[in-house]
Structures are given as structure tokens and as C-alpha cells.
Amino acid sequence: MSTFALSEEHEALREAVRALADDKIAPRAADIDRAAEFPWDVYEALVKADFHAVHVPEAYGGAGGDALAAALVIEEVARACATSSLIPAVNKLGTMPLLLGASDEVKQRYLPPVARGEAMFSYALSEPEAGSDAAAMRTRAVRTEGGYLLNGVKRWITNAGVSKYYTVMAVTDQDKGADGITAFVVEDGDPGFSFGAPEHKLGIKGSPTRELYFDNCEIPESRRVGDEGEGFKIALRTLDHTRVTIAAQALGIAQGALDYALGYVKERKQFGKAIADFQGPQFMLADMAMHLEAARQLTYAAAARSERAMRGEKVPDLTFFSSACKTLASDVAMSVTTDAVQLLGGYGYVNDYPVERMMRDAKITQIYEGTNQVQRMVMARQLLKGW
């Protein structure tokens, strides 16, 4: 297979997800944004089609989709609705630490319910005083007889309150810095575990973002992910894989905006002819499509590296590629959606048309899973050390 061509299987997957998105998701996108409520009907549609967590291996009851398959699902859902694309994206983010570092016992306990659509899985790393500086976290996990006692706060947790399971990073040894962080699975309903109020956000409004509170929350040792002190390494490895999913989300948002703008400029007439006939809009469209396709190729290349790493290969440039595709795709999404609003003129600025929603949704892709400023630092460090 050519490096730059999708397999027949991947193409068929894209077509199937797009058909579902056009039929079930796109008609709901504006209402989801307006109501700021989690789209349970969309979740059920994704579960029925087995697109809600396509990355879960077959050994745990999943579809066994590779990294590119997961990216394609997220991209096509995001083309219709960015909020809805966070269902497969966050399921991958929450479960990736288990796939990378958990015992088979932990995997067998938690991955099958996600694969069956009985539970969603969120990821809890950030804190009020530990965003980009994740190693500065203050949430503590103190050993007890047979387990750990968690105390602290996590912030900016996507799908908090609708997910049943949470991968939580906590400090088990304050004297070891990043090497004293350990990962755990926390379940909704655990005594001492509660949620803050939903944040009121610029975009992705139908995906709840809330704080997690741990007040003497007792976690059995059997729910630890990996060994003590491995949490931060697992967290960084997780992000190497899941930044690709954010890039895919950004691609979908940008593609949705470009598609709508293309249709609009062909129909809208000024000075006696369609806007599409004027050179100025044509140049804008050309740049939008060119930058989007460049970001797509980089994202798919990063997805291929992610898959090779998941299969146990050494992929020294994965960190660079994952940071690069996330940065480029999210910057492109912001630019393309802004230009789409411009091409629609006054109509682009009102919520009767979808491009203003897409522009608002695009912004978060430059921020979460590491701001693009931090990603540039990561890329530079990779270059300077020669992978």
C-alpha cells in the first residue's frame, strides 16, 4: 500500500462513519451546542455502529481498530459535531494508560464494558495549579492497608459526570517529583469521589467539563495502573498517542467548515455572479484546502507511527510527529473556520449557520492535551536531542 493512500478497509470505515454522521449527528449538532447537554442519542448511535471506542483490542471485546481507524472515526464525527467526536476521543484517552501500562487483570475488568458501550472512560491529569506543568500536581495517594487514600482536585476533565471510569494521576511519593506519580482507576460512585459544577465554555458545549474532587477516596490496590511511580511516564506516553486524536478532531472541524463554505460561495451571488467566481474568495478557499490537506497527511503519518509503537516497535520520532500534527491541525482548524466565517460575511457571524459554532469549537484544539506553545517546546527538544 502506498504511504499516502488509505486501505480499502479504512476507506470503507470512513464512508460508514460519514454516512452515520450525516444521518444521525449533523442534524443534532446545533441543538447540542445550544442546549449544552451531553448527546446521549448520539452516543447510542455510535455504540450501535461500534464507533464509540473503535480502538479497544479484540482481546477485550473491542473492534480492534488501529490508530488510523480511530483517527478516521474521530475526524468524520467531528466534521458533523465536535462535541460528539469527544465520545470516541475521550474513550481512547481514558483507556490508553491501561493499554500502555495496566496489568491484564485491570484491562479485563475495565476495557470490555467500554467496548460494549456500557461505560465511558475519562482521563484526569490536570489540576488547578498543574496544567502544562503536570509534574507539579498536588493530588495525593497515601497507602493504606490494601489500597490508597486519594485527596485532591482535578480540573478540566472532559466528559466528567457522564463517564463511569476515570484514569487519575496522583502523587504517591512527594520526594521523587515526576517519578513519584502513580496512575489509578476511579469509578463513579466511589465514596469520597464527587464532581464540581459544569464549566460554561466557548465551544464543545455538549461535552461536560468539570472538576473531580477526592476527599479520602479509598482505592483498592487492584485498581492501580502499572507500578508505583510509573504514572507520569504512562501519562506522557498516553499523550504521544492521543494528541493524534486531537489532530483528527481538528481536521474534522476544519473539513466541515470548508465544506459548508464551498457550498455557500457557489450559491451566494453579489454583483451579478456567484462569490465563487471572484478571485479573492478563490484564493482563500485554495489556502484553506491546501493547509487542511497538509495537516491531514501529517496526522495520518503520525497515526501510523502511533500504531507501530502500540505493536511494540521503537518509534523514536513519535513524540515529534504527535506534537507536530496536533499543532498544525489545530492551527489550521482555527484558520480555516475563521476564514469560513469571513466567506459567509454577516451570515457567518450568526448561529443560524454552523461555521460560527465550528470556529468556537476549533479553539479548544489549540489548548487541550497540551497548548500549542508547549507542543512547540516539545518538538524543539526532540529536534535538539536528535530524537
Residue pair 188/113 in contact (Cβ under 8 Å)? The answer is no
Residue pair 179/172 in contact (Cβ under 8 Å)? The answer is no
The model's confidence at residue 182, banded by pLDDT at 50, 70 and 90, is very high
Nearest alpha-carbon partner for 30 in 367, 363, 361, 341: 361
Alpha helices (runs of H) in the chain, residue ranges in sequence order: 8-20, 29-35, 40-49, 67-80, 82-101, 104-116, 231-267, 279-310, 318-344, 355-365, 372-385
Question: What's residue 251's pLDDT?
Answer: 98
| CATH 2.40.110.10 placement within the chain | 121-229
pLDDT higher than threshold 70 for residue 1? no
pLDDT higher than threshold 90 for residue 99? yes
Q: How many Å apart are CA 148 and CA 224, to the nearest integer?
A: 9
Q: How many Å apart are CA 163 and CA 143, to the nearest integer?
A: 26
Residue pair 247/330 in contact (Cβ under 8 Å)? The answer is yes
Cell 476544519 -> residue: 254
Residue pair 67/189 in contact (Cβ under 8 Å)? The answer is no
**Cβ burial, residue 58 (10 Å; 0-12/13-18/19+):** exposed
pLDDT higher than threshold 60 for residue 2? no
| CATH 1.20.140.10 placement within the chain | 232-385
Q: What are the Cα distances from residue 44, in Å, to 9, 39, 47, 65, 126?
A: 24, 9, 5, 19, 29
| CATH 1.10.540.10 placement within the chain | 8-116
End-to-end CA distance of the chain: 27
The overall average pLDDT reported for the chain is 97
Question: What kind and span of H or E run contains 347?
Answer: none
Phi, psi angle pair for 159, to nearest 5°: 65, 20
Question: What's residue 131's pLDDT?
Answer: 83
Catalytic residue flag (residue 369): yes
Question: What kind and span of H or E run contains 157?
Answer: strand 147-158
Per residue in 24-47, pLDDT (tens digit) is: 999 999 999 999 999 999 999 999
**How distant is the alpha carbon of residue 343 from its chain centre?**
28
Q: What is the pTM of this model?
A: 0.97
Phi, psi angle pair for 226, to nearest 5°: 80, -170
Q: Give the right CATH number for 232-385 from 1.20.140.10, 3.20.20.70, 3.30.70.20, 3.40.50.10490.
A: 1.20.140.10
Q: What DSSP state is assigned to residue 25? A: I
Which among 75, 230, 356, 369 is annotated as catalytic?
369
Question: What's residue 4's pLDDT?
Answer: 66
Nearest alpha-carbon partner for 207 in 116, 381, 15, 74: 74
The model's confidence at residue 188, banded by pLDDT at 50, 70 and 90, is very high
pLDDT higher than threshold 90 for residue 258? yes
Classify domain 8-116 at the CATH superfamily level: Acyl-CoA dehydrogenase/oxidase, N-terminal domain (1.10.540.10)
Question: What's residue 221's pLDDT?
Answer: 97
Question: What's residue 5's pLDDT?
Answer: 82
Per residue in 69-96, pLDDT (tens digit) is: 999 999 999 999 999 999 999 999 999 9
Listed in order, strand segments (DSSP E) in 253-382 are 269-270, 273-274
pLDDT higher than threshold 60 for residue 12? yes
Average pLDDT over residues 310-318: 97
The lowest-confidence range among 134-148, 189-203, 209-223 is: 134-148
Between these two residues, 47 and 130, which has the higher pLDDT value? Answer: 47
Percent of the chain past pLDDT 90, that is, above it, reads 96
Average pLDDT over residues 349-355: 98
Cell 459544569 -> residue: 198
| CATH code for the structural domain at 121-229 | 2.40.110.10
The model's confidence at residue 134, banded by pLDDT at 50, 70 and 90, is confident
Average pLDDT over residues 189-206: 98
Nearest alpha-carbon partner for 265 in 167, 339, 158: 339
pLDDT higher than threshold 90 for residue 204? yes
Q: What DSSP state is assigned to residue 212? A: E
